[in-house]
Chain A
Amino acid sequence: QKEVEQNSGPLSVPEGAIASLNCTYSDRGSQSFFWYRQYSGKSPELIMSIYSNGDKEDGRFTAQLNKASQYVSLLIRDSQPSDSATYLCAVGGFQKLVFGTGTRLLVSP
């Protein structure tokens, strides 16, 4: 069974720090990888997608992909209290995504 693993957290960081979120996956054939942010009671919101090995930056967010080691990470620079949410890692399978259970991030002022 294809799996996506995340530490459930909570990951606590002070405001202004870098938050590092990690995800590992089991299907070596996966080709697409996504990070979603989900606030309590709301639907997931896409924040990053990455398809190739290496880093991809978008504003304060950097996604990192290492297919050989089967992990993908998300760095959030200059963390803000508004970044406090659950971050879901999703890995692309055939016509669908496999989601991890998410890491809860808490950013304290």
Chain B
Amino acid sequence: DAMVIQNPRYQVTQFGKPVTLSCSQTLNHNVMYWYQQKSSQAPKLLFHYYDKDFNNEADTPDNFQSRRPNTSFCFLDIRSPGLGDAAMYLCATSRGGGRGLSYEQYFGPGTRLTVT
């Protein structure tokens, strides 16, 4: 089955210790997204890739970086995690729309990040 996979499902890191979260997809979608979601809040878009074009949200801290080495994989790097970065990190994919039309996004299971 076509799907979005995230690894690891649970990640514990120490304050200030870099961490990388990964996402892969078999949907062959050209758009990949990274969201941060905290309890009882809406998913917050951090950035997305449209093919190889990187699009950063204006309020995403510099502490968060991303890489997309190929169509199938995308990584989220948190360079110096703080206690406030503890959250669920969600990867989603979508086919790209002409004229910027947004189509359905399909989410992976998420990575729960704990910062100690």
Contacts and interface: CB of A to CB of B under 8 A. Distances in A.
Size category, B interface: 20 to 34
B102 to A, nearest CB: 3
B108 interface: yes
A99 B101 contact: no
Contacts of B108: 43
A17 interface: no
B102 A95 contact: yes
Binding site secondary structure of chain A: loop
Interface stretch (B13-21, B37-45, B74-82): B37-45
Nearest to A36: B107
Interface residues of A, number: 23
Interface string B86-99: 00101000001100
Given A43-B110, A44-B90, A96-B48, A101 B42 contact: yes
Contacts of B31: 95
Contacts of B106: 46
Given A96-B33, A96-B48, 14 more contacts: A32-B97, A32-B101, A32-B103, A36-B107, A42-B110, A43-B109, A43-B110, A46-B106, A49-B104, A95-B96, A95-B102, A96-B45, A99-B42, A101-B41
23 contacts: A31-B102, A32-B103, A34-B104, A42-B110, A43-B88, A43-B107, A44-B43, A44-B90, A45-B107, A46-B106, A46-B107, A93-B102, A95-B31, A95-B50, A95-B96, A95-B100, A96-B48, A96-B102, A97-B45, A97-B102, A99-B43, A101-B41, A102-B42
The 6 closest A-B pairs by CB, nearest first: A92-B102, A94-B100, A99-B42, A43-B107, A43-B110, A101-B42
